[in-house]
Amino acid sequence: MFDIVKPMDIEKRSFEIITELLGDRKLAPENELVIKRVIHTTADFEYVDNLAFSPDAVAKGIEALKSGCHIVTDTSMAMSGINKTILGKLGGQAHCFIADPDVAEEAKARGITRSIVSMEKAAKLDKSCIFAVGNAPTALIALHDLMATGKVKPALIIGVPVGFVNVVESKELIMTDDVPYIVARGRKGGSNVAAAICNAMLYQITR
Q: 6: which residues sit within 8 A by CB, 6+ positions away?
A: none
31, 61 Cβ separation under 8 angstroms: no
Q: How far apart are CA 35 and CA 41, in angstroms?
A: 10
In this structure, are strands 94-95 and 156-159 parallel, antiparallel, or unpaired?
Answer: unpaired
Kindly list the distances between the CA atom of residue 167 and the CA atoms of 93, 108, 153, in Å, as whole numbers in the listed order: 27, 22, 22
Cβ–Cβ < 8 Å for 194, 132:
yes
C-alpha separations of 200 from 39, 58, 109, 134 in Å: 11, 9, 38, 15
Active site residues: 40
- Of 24, 37, 23, 14, residue with least CA distance to 182: 37
